[in-house]
Amino acid sequence: MLALCVLSAHTAWAAAGDDVVRLQQQWEQIRYRTPAPAREAQLERLLGEARKTTAANPGSADLLIWQAIIESTYAGEKGGLGALSNAKAARTALEQALAINPDALAGSAYTSLGSLYYQVPGWPIGFGDDKKALELLKKGLAVNPDGIDANYFYGDYLFRKGDYAEATRVLNKALQAPARPGRAIADDGRRKEIDQLLDKIAAKAK
């Protein structure tokens, strides 16, 4: 009986891992390879899949993180006050992921939650909080100090706070991040975003 339970758990974890890869790959195609006018509808469809998959695999921090990433990306495409409910849902999913395993996906829950806190408007409209954002972003960096996303979002935070010199240093570090296996599309897209942000910083320095 014990062996059967272990086998069943292993099968469930493997299935959840496959689902993570599937959601990740679809998100990358939509985020970086799909024309802007079509992104919102495709993200809405993918979000529905992510919610169903997460509900079917309770206890998977990885799936909760990816549901939150898709939810927050959809909120960004949707825009306006109507997107706030999606941002809140993403926050909840990330908090649940942290409660399960804060180190899941190299600390991505910390980084993603931190990015939400500095991008969402503050009170009385939203839950944005720069102090919380900084705390979470630094926790993400503590788990994954050389990661491209952890450094990108910290650099973007610094840019928005007007610390251009430190933002430049952090963003250049992000560009040196090692390639992630199976994440070529995301890595390429993120590096382009980093280059665009460095261009904005250079323009402000003129």
Domain that holds residue 166: 145-206
Domain shared by 108 and 28, yes or no:
yes
CA distance 133 to 24: 24
User: Hey, is 121 helix, strand or coil?
Assistant: coil
Domain shared by 153 and 204, yes or no:
yes
Reference 112, options 163, 79, 69; nearest CA is 69
> Highest mean pLDDT range out of 6-10, 17-21, 70-74, 76-80?
70-74
Reference 153, options 107, 93, 199; nearest CA is 107
Q: What is the pLDDT of residue 118?
A: 97
- Reported pTM: 0.91
Number of domains in the chain: 2
Domain shared by 86 and 128, yes or no:
yes
16 band by pLDDT with thresholds 50, 70 and 90 = low
Domain shared by 85 and 151, yes or no:
no
User: Hey, is 88 helix, strand or coil?
Assistant: helix
Domain boundary among 133, 160, 187: 133
Tens of pLDDT, residue by residue over 126-181, are 999 999 999 999 999 999 999 999 999 999 999 999 999 999 999 999 999 999 99
Whats the size of the chain, residue-wise?
Answer: 206
Q: What is the pLDDT of residue 190?
A: 98
In a domain, 9, yes or no: no
In a domain, 11, yes or no: no
Q: Long-range contact list for 192-201, CB < 8 A, 24+ apart? A: 193/152, 194/148, 194/152, 194/155, 197/152, 197/155, 197/156, 197/159, 197/167, 197/171, 198/168, 198/171, 198/172, 200/159, 201/159, 201/164, 201/167, 201/168, 201/171
- Position 28 pLDDT exceeds 60: yes
Q: Which two tokens stand for residue 112?
A: 């993603």
Reference 73, options 110, 107, 24; nearest CA is 24
Higher pLDDT, residue 6 or 95:
95
